[in-house]
Every structure is written in structure tokens, then in C-alpha cells.
Chains A and B, each alone.
Chain A
């Protein structure tokens, strides 16, 4: 089963994402912000990145931009978790190389459905 790196500075969101994904059989690792995620993503290869946008230290968009520049992550799907208000954010995210987005609030089914979209 595919491995996923879940990045969020909010522990409750992180736990919810992890729980949902693990229940569906995915292998999940957590990161608390962009800096942590970048280190973890370089220590092994993930099949997909799911990241929050607003985070301290390094935000989700910068994280995606950094990861895209790594040869290993050139084509890896990267999804951002964003609030509905962020049309602008979506554009910024896409420019940074985000594959797509999941609009918050979302329920576990939506998350799984979206992941299925990129992981098959």
C-alpha cells in the first residue's frame, strides 16, 4: 500500500488524517511543519504528500516548492489542505507545484476519495 506523509501543525488534524488513512490501509508518517516534513521526505520516498498550508517555520506552499525541486519528488502527488476562501492560495499552490487540494472542513470519506484520485 502507498505511503503518505501527513504534514500539519495542528495535532488534532494530523491525528485525524493519520487515523483515517491508516484505517484505509495506507502507511502514514506525520510531520509537524514544513521543516520537519522536508527532512522526513528526504530520508525516504513517500508516494504522496498531504500538507496543511498555514504552518509556522515553513508553510505548505514553500514546502511543496522545495519538494518539487528534488528529483525524487518531481512527479509525486502533493495535496494541500486549505480553507474555502483561498482561491488565491490555490493559485499560489499550483504555481509552487501542488497537484491538488482538499478543502477544509472535510470528512474522512472526502479525504479518502481524493487520495484515491491521485494514488489509484
Chain B
């Protein structure tokens, strides 16, 4: 079973997400029954699955949620904001429970019990819960009585030698797919079966409808089979037949025997025990979960490790890949044929084959990269909840709009972009959007809007967070920066430069830090995270109208468009995105600056030159004269700089291999790649290189 647990967990988390977004979409007073149904179905599936997979704590918890939702679904219960909040809390609690179980940690019983109680209060009212939670004296008495009755039953059962069954099906019995023959076969397994068919109601041949059941039976099952098993066989046809089951008493039954048998009727007690302990709510059920876990410990550990790196892929993408692999195989066999008896006249064929191979390899590469692409909705879907919770807390009215959720982006980017986005959205909620009264005074709609938008542009994905709040105040920003000692007084800034101030370490504009946004990590960390993903962040803001923060990110972190350059005998890769232009330089464009090395004048701008062969200590062919090399103008964090190289080799896509994983981190180098001839080339990290050469 454990091999399906992974699927089960994934499904649960999906279900929880659907429940969460459903709950957030519920509009009190105008309830969409389909939404409630979806939420209900989520709880229902988790309950069914968790019971089957042995997570009884979860099953128990979801049962209460399900009951509550079921009543809402049927319209027996009104949907209130408190109920929604309790359910939202329960969704969180369930998510934690499942995560704990998945990672084999102990479930936080106290918080689970707390949420469960909240649900029960919602369901039964406070008084009802107390009654049902505490196992009362009454209950245990009843339990004992039950046991006794069952034991008595057993005594009777065992006293006789079998059962007499009168079974008279209604005409329609066959129409549910039930078949008396199959039932008789089952009865025969319990003991010797004697059947007597009563065919007096069977009509004549011409009136006979073969789809109706006209026969009745008198059956005898010999032996000491329990009544429950006999009843179970007829369980499915209850209501579709007349059924009478009587003990088949044989005269020789001795009373003494009855007492004896009743005394050792123990198994029945355990049976009766079970339902009696089930209503004991709270803690006594929950410990079941951790207790059952160790049994499958080994398999589960394995699957948990696998889980952290698993990915769900659309089958269409896989089909496309298989198709491409097929193409590659065909091309390969074609090339093999050419090579087998190679002659010069086959050169044309060879070239054609190689061209085909190149095309297929490229397609294949793209196909494989595609597998790693996930829609950005994986990240976006968490935000409606965040906005709901925070805006309630702040007493603001805010609507969140999501645009372009289906935009696809690399899985690694998806995982890493979440935290910076959360921070930015918190900022918009807390600092951007005004309080309702303030908004009305400013002539804006009472409800503020935050738009989260994703789209592709070039080889990048752009994520924009736009709010219609009061925008950034340039004067305030500058005053704050001066106060913090980050800039000098009377400095002159353009709007853009002023907005950039918020990215400085130690800058925070909120007059009071709140627990929503002022958490010590500032915008500088956000920017650093985004830059470490190879992206950048910019701000557009208009005072009184709102702010847009745009994040540009590469689509994938595994492949890079690069320009290969030669320095001596070495080849380096410069990321194409950071190259502005490449030029041949002349003597008169150069300037020597004392203590600062060489600079270069490009259209009235002085640009520092980084001599690559010096930085990397490589023997260069033009070590003496700068003018014999080529200058590659690159940009890193808004600063221009010229890299002096010997030659430009060509543009190509390179697969990034981590240096940190294989060697160690080197400043100025972001990774390495393997070239067509098998040699290794370093990939330059332009901003890092600039910092390095400045020292």
C-alpha cells in the first residue's frame, strides 16, 4: 500500500488547496452550491483515502469537517463567516497533520484537538460538545449492556445446528445485477446448503419474462455459522425480497452446552468494544496515527525522500518527448548507414543527416526543459488566502486579481520566487493600500485592488505586482534615507533613483513596524534573492495612484544563452543578457586614470576596462597592447564595464553545471559548462566580476 501513499499525499494537498480557494470564494448571503460541493468533495476524498491508508487521526478529523460541510450543502445549516474561518483553520491544521505524517513526525495533537473542538462547537454548539467529548458514566454502562446482549445472542446462535431461510425475491431483484445463484454459492461456503426451489409462481412459457425473478427458495444451511454472516450475504438485496431467517433447532441441544459456549464468546466482546470507543473524541484517537507509522517506516522514508523532488508532468509533454526520441533514433540509424561504407560522394547525405540530428537534439532539449516548466499558478494560488487573512487583520478591503496564471516557468524558479513575492505582497497590503476611509477621502473606490500578473517577454518571465494605493512618496523616501544616514543631505535624485533607495540595506519606510511587513528582512533581501535567480526588479510608482513592482526572471536556470569569448587558450562564456555590445577599440578612445587603471570612452561615458587575462592569469596574445583585443561591453546592476578579450567565438546555449557542487564557489564565476570539444569553460558572473576587479 505504501507505494500509493505518495499519490495520496499529493492528492490531499491538491484537495486542500481546492478547499481553501473554495472557502475564500464563498460569498456569504449568495452561496454557490457548486462551490460548497467542491469543498465537500475535497474533505470527503481526504477522509476516504486517509481511512484506507491507515491515517485514522486524519480520517477522524475530516469526518467532522465533512459533517459540517454536508449540512451546509443540504442547506440545513447557514454559511457564516465564523464557520468559514473555522473551516479555513481546519484546512491549515489538516495540511500540517498530513505534512507531519508524510515526514514521519509526530502530529501536534494539542493544536489538532483545538481545531477539532472548534469544528465541533460550530457543529453542535458549545453545550453539545461537552456532552459528547466527555465519556460519561452512561456511556460505559451502555457499553457493558451491549456486550451482554451480544453474548446472549451468541449463545442462541451456537445452540442450534443451522439456519432455515425463506427467500422470496421480488420480480425486480435481478435488475440490480444481484444473482441468487451467486448468493447460494456463498451460503454453501458457510456450511452444507440444501435448496428447495418453489416454482409455483413461474408463469407459462409464453407469459414468461426472463428478466424477472419468479422463483422463491427455501434454504437450509447446516452447521454453526453466525447469523451476521448469513445476513451479510443478503445485505445487498434487503428490500428487494422477502426474507425470513430462523434457527434450525435440533432436539438434542443441551442447555449445559449453551452456558459453556456463552462463557467463551470472547471475540464478540472486542467487536462490541470498537464502536463504543469510537465516539471518545479528542486525544484518544489521534495517537493512533504516529503509532501506525513505524510499521512502514522504511518504505515511507524512501517515498518521502522521493517526494521532495518529484514533479507532475502533463502526459502530452511526455508523448512529445517520446516522439522526438523516435526521430533521433531514425536519424542515428540513417547516419550509421552512411558511415558503414563511407565514400566521398556520400558527404551530402552525411551533412543532411547531421543537420537533422542537430535539429532533433534541439527539439529534444527543449522538450526536456519543458518538463521542468510549471504554471506560475503553483505560486499564485497561495496568495488569495494570504490577502484574505492579512486584509482582515488590517481592516482593509482588498481585492486580489490574478492574471496569466498559466504562464509557465522553471520549477526551480517557482520554488525560489515564493518568498520574495510574499514579501512584496505583504508590503503592498500593509504600506500600499490605504484604509477604507482614507481611500474614500481620496476619491478612490473603498476596496483596493492588487493585481498579480505574469507574462512572457523574450526569454524572460515578468511578474508584476500592481496596487492602486498611495504610491511611493519621493520626498519621504529621501528624508528617511538621510535620517538613516544612508545618503547625504541635499542629494538630488530622479524618481527612479529615489525608488531605488528602498532596496538599500537598513531602509524601512513604515512609520511603525507591524507584524505584517516589518520582519527585519527588507527589500534588499528581496532584491538579492531575485538577483541570485538571475533576474532583476524595478519599481514604477505614481504618488496617489499606486505602485507597480516588476520582476524579470529567466525562464530557466539550467540553460543559458551565452557568448563564448577567447582569452589566450581559454574559452569563457559571457551571459548574453548582460552584453550591451562588442567593439574594436582604438588608441584614442583609451584614458589612463591614475590609480584606477584604464577607462574607455564610449559616447561620452567613461567605462572601466577589465583585462580578462589579468583577472584569470591567462597568457594572452595581446598582453602588451589593449587595442589589439576586443572589448565586450557588459552591464551588471546598472553599471557598465568593458571586458577585454582576445576574440569572440560564437553564441550558443550552454548547459550550466554547478561549480559549487563539484568544486567550490569562485567569485566572478557563476558556473561552468562543457564545450563541444569536451573542454570546460567557465561562465562569468558579470556583477561578481566587477566587484572582484574593483578590489
A-B contact count (CB 8 A): 88
A72 to B40, CA, bound (A): 34
Indicate if A77 sits at the interface (CB-CB under 8 A): yes
B40 / chain A contacts, CB cutoff of 8 Å: 54
The docked-state distance in angstroms from the alpha carbon of A105 to that of B45 is 11
Stretch at the interface among B176-184, B254-262, B623-631: B176-184
For residue A11, which residues in chain B have a CB less than 8 angstroms away from its CB? Answer: 7, 10-11
Q: Given contacts A12-B7, A106-B52, A117-B186, is CB(A75)–CB(B41) below 8 Å?
A: no
**A10/B45 in contact, CB under 8 A:** yes
Q: Are B11 and A12 in contact (CB under 8 A)?
A: yes
> Does A105 contact B176, Cβ atoms closer than 8 Å?
no
A53 smallest CB distance to B (angstroms): 9
In B157-178, the 8 Å CB interface with A consists of 174-178
Against B, the Cβ 8 Å flags (1 = close, 0 = not) of A68-108 are 10000011111001010100000100100111110011111
Instruction: Say yes or no: B1 contacts A16, CB within 8 Å.
Output: yes
Q: A94-B176, A99-B176 are in contact. Are A117 and B182 (CB under 8 A)?
A: yes
CB contacts (< 8 Å) of B235 on chain A: these are 100
The answer to whether A9 touches B45, judged by C-beta atoms less than 8 angstroms apart, is yes
Are B4 and A120 in contact (CB-based, < 8 A)?
A: no
**Known interface pairs A16-B4, A120-B182; A97-B176 also in contact (CB < 8 Å):** yes
Q: Which A residues are CB-close (under 8 A) to B186?
A: 117
Residue of B whose beta carbon sits closest to that of A48: B177
A19 within 8 A of B: yes
Partner of B11, one of A10, A19, A97, A104: A10
A25 at the interface (CB under 8 A from B): no
Per the 8 Å Cβ criterion, residues 174-207 of B in contact with A are 174-179, 182, 185-186
A12, B4: Cβ atoms closer than 8 Å: yes
Which B residues are CB-close (under 8 A) to A101? 236
* Given known A100-B235, A101-B236, contact A13–B49 (CB-CB < 8 A): yes
Residue B506 is within 8 A (CB to CB) of chain A in the complex: no
Q: What is the minimal beta-carbon distance from B345 to any residue of chain A, in angstroms?
A: 53
Question: Does chain A have a CB within 8 A of B44?
Answer: yes
**CA gap between A69 and B303 in the complex, in Å:** 44
> CB of B462 within 8 A of chain A?
no
B49 near A12: Cβ-Cβ < 8 Å: yes
B177 contacts A56, C-beta separation under 8 Å: no
Of chain A, the residue at the smallest CB distance from B56 is: A105
- Select from chain A the residue with minimum beta-carbon distance to B15: A10
> Which residues of B sit under 8 angstroms from A9, Cβ to Cβ?
41, 45
**Does B499 make an interface contact (CB < 8 A)?**
no
Q: Does B59 contact A (CB under 8 A)?
A: yes
Decide: A83 and B47 in contact? CB cutoff 8 A.
Answer: yes
Which of chain B's residues 398-413 have a Cβ closer than 8 Å to chain A?
none
- With the chains together, A21 CA to B647 CA distance in Å? 66
Q: Within the assembled complex, what's the spacing in Å between the Cα atoms of A117 and B10? A: 33
Among B3, B4, B48, B175, the residue within 8 A (CB) of A97 is: B175
- Interface check A118, CB cutoff 8 A: yes
CB atoms of B11 and A99 under 8 A apart: no
Contact between chains at B239 and A104 (CB < 8 Å): no
CB-contacts of B231-252 with A (<8 A):
235-236, 239-240
Number of residues on chain B facing chain A (CB within 8 A): 36
Nearest CB in chain B: distance from A49 CB, A:
9
Q: Please determine whether B52 and A74 come into contact, CB atoms closer than 8 angstroms.
A: no
CB of B228 to closest CB in A, whole Å: 15
Which of B51, B53, B175, B236 is in CB contact (< 8 Å) with A74? B175
CA distance A81 to B49 in the complex (A): 12
Q: Which listed residue, B5, B41, B177, B211, touches A76 by the CB 8 Å rule? A: B177
Query: Which residues of chain B are near A94, meaning CB under 8 Å?
Result: 176, 236, 239-240
A75 to B212: give the CA distance in the assembly, Å.
11
Whether A22 sits at the interface, judged by CB under 8 Å, is: no
Check B52–A13 contact: CB distance below 8 A: yes
**Interface status of B606 (Cβ within 8 A of chain A):** no
User: Once the chains bind, are B41 and A105 in contact (CB under 8 Å)?
Assistant: no
Q: Is B507 an interface residue (CB 8 A)?
A: no
Instruction: Please report the C-alpha to C-alpha distance between residue A100 and residue B183 in the assembled complex, in whole angstroms.
Output: 12
Task: Flag whether B503 is at the interface (Cβ < 8 A).
Answer: no
Q: Flag if B59 contacts A105 (CB, 8 Å).
A: yes
Kindly list chain A residues whose C-beta atoms are within 8 Å of the C-beta of B1: 16, 108
- The verdict on B455 contacting chain A, using a C-beta distance below 8 Å, is no
| Contact partners of A104 in chain B: CB under 8 A | 48, 51-52
B165 to chain A, nearest CB (A): 17
CB distance from A6 to the nearest CB of B (A): 13
Q: Is B8 an interface residue (CB 8 A)?
A: yes
CB distance B177 to A78 under 8 Å? yes
Contact across chains for B4 and A56 when beta carbons are under 8 A apart:
no
Query: How far is it, in angstroms, between the C-alpha of A34 and the C-alpha of B525 when the chains are bound?
Result: 50
Cβ of B10: which chain A residues have Cβ within 8 Å of it? 11
Determine whether the beta carbon of A54 is less than 8 Å from that of B41. Answer: yes
Alpha-carbon separation in the docked complex, A56 to B40 (Å): 11
Contact B45–A118 (Cβ < 8 Å): no
> With A16-B52, A56-B41, A105-B59 given, is the CB distance from A97 to B177 under 8 Å?
yes
Interface centre among B44, B174, B176, B186 (most CB of A within 10 A): B176
**Which residue in chain B gives the minimum CB-CB distance to A73?**
B177
Q: CA A120 – CA B8 in complex, angstroms?
A: 31
B183 to chain A, nearest CB (A): 8
Report the separation of the CA atoms of residues A15 and B44 in the bound assembly, to the nearest whole angstrom.
18
Residues of A within 8 A of B4 (CB): 12, 15-16, 19
Q: Please name all residues of chain B whose beta carbon is closer than 8 Å to the beta carbon of A120 when the two chains form the complex.
A: 182, 185
Residues of B near A105 (CB, < 8 A) are 48, 50-52, 59
Set of chain B residues within 8 Å of A74, measured between Cβ atoms: 175, 211
Given A106-B52, A107-B52; A77-B177 close (CB under 8 Å): yes
Given contacts A81-B48, A98-B176, A118-B177, 8 further A-B pairs with CB under 8 A are: A10-B45, A16-B4, A56-B41, A68-B175, A75-B177, A98-B177, A100-B178, A117-B182
Q: Mind listing 14 A-B residue pairs with CB under 8 Å? A: A12-B8, A13-B48, A16-B1, A16-B4, A76-B177, A81-B48, A94-B236, A99-B178, A100-B178, A101-B236, A105-B59, A108-B1, A117-B182, A118-B177
The 10 closest A-B CB pairs, nearest first, are: A105-B51, A99-B177, A12-B8, A100-B236, A105-B52, A12-B7, A77-B177, A104-B48, A10-B45, A15-B4
